[in-house]
Structure 1
């Protein structure tokens, strides 16, 4: 009885404490599932090596007495990256636009937290996704109808994560009728490049530049 209880406490402590990972900075916004950078705070994103799922899209990263909650909406090639500004703040306590630093992997504590903790980083009332390029991800989440993404996704007629092409208009999806979203204008259409609305903070300089 007592050993089992002890193991249970150890397991709960591990969940609360999280895990340690070598965290590196990432200075160009991207999203493997098509989350639109113009509809989120791109300075608060995590790029983890595992695929993006439909519930665990918010992580807390802690270091030096500081913590940030970040949207986990991109799959990296193997690293545990976070937005450069988030990395800069956790290491130095200041924004990368104020006091940019450079550096490699820093061991930080990471843990999954409820997706609601990251709603503050969303600008569209939900997780904004590309209607033309995120349908596989959305369909997989709709197959889990109680998942957070299934209940909180939004589709926009914008083609790319950095919001260069398309129309900034919301679309609807009813898989019982079609596997293609319905938008006010033709799905995937465009009328020239949209104004720049996604910006990166350059590594090492702190300069704010439009996403390419």
Structure 2
């Protein structure tokens, strides 16, 4: 279990190194277009956003790598809309959380009226990150990242970006919050390096059960613990 976890954490860190620094949200043109959105029922984040600190039922898993500013997208279909955190990269599909997809299809949560199917025609637009504020469950209202495995991405997001201004680091090892410590870490002054400082040693794979992440299973609507 720890071996596979280590491999996944290394993959997460490698993905973070591909991040690029975009212009500030207000200075760039909002993106929009038409897509076919498909359901995704297992939480993940290629930049290390902690699922225990957000609403995992409102996430976009899209082909483009997450950016430091375009973190919130609005997807509309069948006269309904959902705001989603764009924090993971797919292999090519425009996936969204199963519950969000189910709502666009039926108008109900997947936990209440689960349905099945494939891509549905939808439109999207990037919106100001404040539109996704209600999807953040972290106590200070910031977007929470794993301190041990998100520094490549965090370091690429300068202080003029939304992520640069609104991130918080936790000593939790993986996005589904099953290892580490539920504690906030801080960054030292730049001249002292960029290794986060935490109350416990950084990166210890101590089992963590107090911060569960629950998926909604495709087709059944039943909750299952993310592992």
TM-score by length of 1: 0.89
Matches within 5 A, 1:5-154: 18-124=32-138, 125-141=141-157, 144-154=158-168
Root-mean-square deviation over aligned CA pairs: 1.4
Runs of 4+ in 1 over 4 A off after TM superposition: none
Q: Which has the larger radius of gyration?
A: 1
Which whole-Å deviations, capped at 9, do the CAs of 1:140-185 have from their partners, x for residues lacking one?
00xx221000000000000000000000000011333112100011
1:191 corresponds to which residue?
206
Write the distance in 2 (CA, Å) between the matches of 1:180 and 1:48: 30
Residue 18 of structure 1, CA deviation:
2.9
In structure 2, the CA distance between the partners of 1:55 and 1:17, relative to structure 1 (3 Å rule), is closer
TM-score by length of 2: 0.83
Structure 2 residue ranges without an equivalent (≥5): 1-28
Residue 87 of structure 1, CA deviation:
0.1
Write the distance in 2 (CA, Å) between the matches of 1:172 and 1:197: 23
Paired residue total: 196
2:222 pairs, out of 192, 200, 207, with 207
Residue 27 of structure 1, CA deviation:
0.2
2:181 corresponds to which residue?
167
1:176 corresponds to which residue?
191
Residue 123 of structure 1, CA deviation:
1.2
In structure 2, the CA distance between the partners of 1:159 and 1:23, relative to structure 1 (3 Å rule), is same
Write the distance in 1 (CA, Å) between the matches of 2:168 and 2:192: 18
Q: Secondary structure at the match of 1:176?
A: helix
